[in-house]
Chains A and B, each alone.
Chain A
Amino acid sequence: MLSRTADALYWMARNLERSENNARVLNVQLIHMLEAADRNILDRDWEEVLEICASYEDYMTRYSRMERGTMIEYLTTSPINPNSIEVCMSIARDNAKTTRDIVPTELWEVLNEFHLDYQDNSDHMDTLSRTKDYLKTITRTSMTAQGVIESTMSRGIPYTFIKVGKWLERAEKTARILNVICEKQKREELQHTADNYYYWLAALRFLNGYDSFIKEHPPTMDSAYVLDFLIREESFPRSIAYCMKHIEEAVKELEGGDVRHYSEELFRLLEIIGTEINETSIHEMNMEELMVFLDHFQKQCTALSSVFMETYYLSAPTPVR
């Protein structure tokens, strides 16, 4: 397969996953907003949402004040925010367009249909209920696209690049969410159980893990249990361990079980990350140590992404002369 094609598939998957994740986080926030009585809590939450879905700093540099409508627009349709849902969806579609000879027709159609329906989005965010409809459409579009991929694509090279993109994006987002929430807890140093409960519940909801979590654990939202679940639970498809394990398996399959010279570095890094996750004892760590771990893990994800891209020559090919 052409490197450019592999690159397009990888980024298509990452951007699609990113829009779904950001849509979910924003949607959870919109629900919380209705529930939160305290005005201060409400504003503080937006800061976290901006940090998870984009960059709080970039937003403040541009707008300097937190106004609900502005923030929603910034996260959904704004062309200025490189991580806005609209921008991610459009990158995903462009990448699908250049790989239409590879991806299933229905996958292209799902992404194209979204594009056609929301081409003129100037008035889509003017009410809360419209915003929520929009977010729901994003989630549905992403899930439909994944359904098409799972049910129609041969388990070959193109499939692998799509899946690796998705898992890497997920793992990174999970780490980011946990990091932001740990930081928040530390900053406020509120040992209030009620607040604790609220933050870790939010983390589970941001990652669509609440239902799975309470099946296994008491609904007390003990931070160590939640963190352990979201980092190490191998059966939960958004946990860091799950994503990393699947990337490792996919790469092994891609290489037919062999470690060759060009893939050495990739396998080495995957092994290190795997060990780091396995040997970390969440229950024995304090908040400070956890944040160091999560910070480190986020860096490892970035490193893994670039090693993966180098191994398969994914970075945009440049003319030789």
Chain B
Amino acid sequence: MLKDYQTGIFFDEMMQPDATPKPHYQWFYQLVQEFSEQELMEKHETAQLNFLRQGITFTVYNQGNQLERTMPFDFIPIIIPEKEWDTIETGMKQRMKALNLFLEDIYNEQRIVDEGVIPRDLVENNPYYYYDQVAGINIPLQNHIFLSGVDLIRDEYGQYRVLEDNLRNPSGMSYVFQNRYVMRQVYPELFFNHSICTLEHQISELHQAVMSHVPDGCEGEATAVLLTPGSYNSAYYDHMFLAQQMGIELVEGRDLLVQDDVVYMKTIRGLKLVDIIYRRIDDDFLDPDAFRPDSTLGVSGLLNAYKKGNVAILNGIGNGIADDKAMYVYVPDMIRFYLGEEPLIPNVETYFLSDPERLDYVLRNMKDLVIKNVGASGGYDMLIGPQSTEEEREVFREKITQEPHQYIAQPTIKLSRAPAYQSGRVYPCHVDLRVFVMNGKEMNVLPGGLSRVALKEGSLVVNSSQGGGGKDTWILSEGGGVNA
């Protein structure tokens, strides 16, 4: 199957340049050899169908039409030896701790600005900085980041680097569970001889993290809900899955009501008090009284209930200040400032275009750089220099000259690759890894995470809205151990 596989100039997760597997993929490699081509085709079909039949879909909008799409699944897992994973885990905890301290600081004393570590205008001009709305609120556990989905990539040397922090509404955790589930259903043979870190207790960890944010005044057992924009939202499956698995009510804005600064949900027996809201609605749509008045998804008066401490909202309001592409540059400084430590997992080198010297350099080297809008996500408004046409570069030259503060640039990283099996053949595809960090009384990193793969050959964009797929992620104890 992998006879003619070429690793090229990239770091490959599975294969070595001489077409032999890396040690931690040895067992997997051998087990796969036992499948016939026919079997591989059939299993591949079965796996895709499994997602479709179960309706594990996300919604894409195309010319006004809503389409339900499945995320293509690739059966070749990303395998990470436990030792390597330990470093990632510790690095993630370090980063989240610092980012949380930053959020607590920036909405209270602002020490980090006063001491000149982060420029004041970068904070104050940020459209996601909701100082007026949420400054000085005493939130449960002083925790702003209940769940983050940190996107990691590996460069050509195999070094993990953080690409994005995603501290607002990271989605995709349901896929981690479903990828594992389908993998076990369709490819049970591949689990032989592997000792893989289980996901079994992770939902209960997540549930505990939610429940630990109980507001001070709450008497008796707290009631938590998951607030979704509704079934037309692209990540609705994710919302549904998490609510169902945690056994909490899946509510929409119209199911909630605020009376005298207390939040209730409308049930068949009348109003029921709500203590904790795990919301999957963005800040600006959360409460039409406090943010966008045209929001029909939110709940009037929710912010006041939050301010009064009558309800916990997860993730906290105003987290957008900490995970935009400009603030990202300062996260290593935050780690040094708040924790007095060196960052364990580095950033990708990033240039601000508001710096005239940098701007000049970027304009001259557009072909070698990736340029991103600081406010965009999902792979939109982004220029990948080496793959761009002259026209596209011209458009971006115009944009960044007009609004330099709106853009950042990064050197094109030679994103690592892994083999993917599609349409009967195996070829190398770029991958990244979204790691989920849950935080309540304790911090917990979900072992593995969502490996995303750019299935279009040569593509660097792994987002599911743009043709990306998913892979199972295995944390392997004892570096490829023998006991299943």
Contact = CB atoms under 8 A, between A and B. Distances in A.
A106 B181 CA distance: 16
Q: Which of A2, A98, A108 has the most CB of B within 10 A?
A: A2
Contact of A112 (B55, B231, B244, B300): B55
Contact of A1 (B55, B243, B252, B268): B268
Interface string A1-21: 111101000000000000000
Nearest to B300: A321
B268 A313 contact: yes
A113 interface: yes
A316 B252 CA distance: 12
A105 B255 CA distance: 23
B250 A6 contact: no
B250 A109 contact: no
Contact of B244 (A97, A101, A317): A101
Contacts of B296: 319
B249 A2 contact: yes
Contacts of A194: none
A132 interface: no
B55 A4 contact: no
Interface string A295-321: 000000000000000001110111111
A100 B244 contact: yes
A2 B265 contact: yes
Q: Specify which of B249, B250, B251, B255 lies most central, judged by the most chain A CB atoms within 10 Å of its CB.
A: B250
Contacts of A100: 55, 240, 244
B186 interface: no
A116 interface: yes
Contacts of A98: 230-231
A94 interface: yes
Contacts of A313: 266-268, 270
A54 B368 CA distance: 64
B254 A116 contact: no
A254 to B, nearest CB: 9
A100 B230 CA distance: 12
B53 interface: yes
Contacts of B302: none
Interface in B184-221: none
Contact of B252 (A4, A101, A113, A157): A4
Contact of B53 (A109, A312, A320): A109
User: Which residue, of B251, B254, B267, B268, has the highest number of chain A Cβ atoms within 10 A?
Assistant: B268
Given A101-B240, A101-B244, A109-B55, A312 B268 contact: yes
Q: How large is the interface on B (under 10, 10 to 19, 20 to 34, 35 or more residues)?
A: 20 to 34
Nearest to A113: B53
A136 to B, nearest CB: 21
B257 interface: yes
Given A94-B231, A313-B266, A4 B254 contact: yes
A108 B53 CA distance: 9
Most chain B beta-carbon neighbours within 10 Å: one of A1, A116, A320 = A320
Contacts, number: 59
B54 interface: yes
B53 A6 contact: no
A220 B266 CA distance: 54
Contacts of A97: 55, 231
B32 interface: no
A148 B250 CA distance: 23
A3 B255 CA distance: 8
B20 to A, nearest CB: 42
B268 A157 contact: yes
B413 interface: no
Given A2-B255, A4-B254, A97-B231, A109 B54 contact: yes
A94 B232 CA distance: 10
A116 B52 contact: yes
Contacts of B55: 97, 100, 108-109, 112
Contacts of A319: 254, 296, 300
A318 B254 contact: yes
Nearest to A101: B244
A252 to B, nearest CB: 16
A113 B231 CA distance: 18
A70 B265 CA distance: 46
A1 B252 CA distance: 13
A261 to B, nearest CB: 12
Contacts of A157: 268
Interface string A148-177: 000000000100000000000000000000
Interface in B311-344: none
B265 A320 contact: no
A109 B57 CA distance: 13
A108 B229 CA distance: 20
Nearest to A119: B68
Which among A6, A101, A317 has the greatest number of chain B C-beta atoms within 10 A? A101
Contacts of B243: 101
B266 A3 contact: yes
A3 B54 CA distance: 26
Interface in B243-293: 243-244, 249-252, 254-255, 257, 265-268, 270
Contacts of B266: 2-4, 313, 317
Interface in A85-119: 94, 97-98, 100-101, 105, 108-109, 112-113, 116
B407 to A, nearest CB: 39
Nearest to A318: B254
A108 B254 CA distance: 24
Contacts of B265: 2
Contacts of A314: 268
Nearest to B247: A101
Nearest to B55: A112
A320 B267 contact: no
Contacts of B268: 1-3, 6, 157, 312-314
B54 A105 contact: yes
A2 B300 contact: no
A88 to B, nearest CB: 18
A320 B271 CA distance: 13
Contacts of B251: 2
A317 B255 contact: yes
B280 to A, nearest CB: 13
A113 B50 CA distance: 11
Nearest to A8: B231
Contacts of A105: 54
A230 to B, nearest CB: 32
Contacts of A109: 53-55
Contact of B254 (A6, A312, A317, A321): A317
A318 B252 CA distance: 12
B267 A112 contact: no
A105 to B, nearest CB: 7
Q: Ordered nearest first, which 6 A-B pairs have the shortest CB separation?
A: A101-B244, A312-B268, A112-B55, A98-B231, A101-B250, A6-B268
Given A1-B268, A3-B268, A100-B55, 17 more contacts: A2-B249, A2-B267, A94-B231, A97-B55, A98-B230, A100-B244, A101-B244, A101-B250, A105-B54, A112-B53, A112-B55, A116-B52, A314-B268, A318-B254, A319-B254, A319-B296, A320-B300
8 contacts: A2-B251, A3-B266, A101-B240, A112-B54, A112-B55, A113-B53, A319-B296, A320-B257
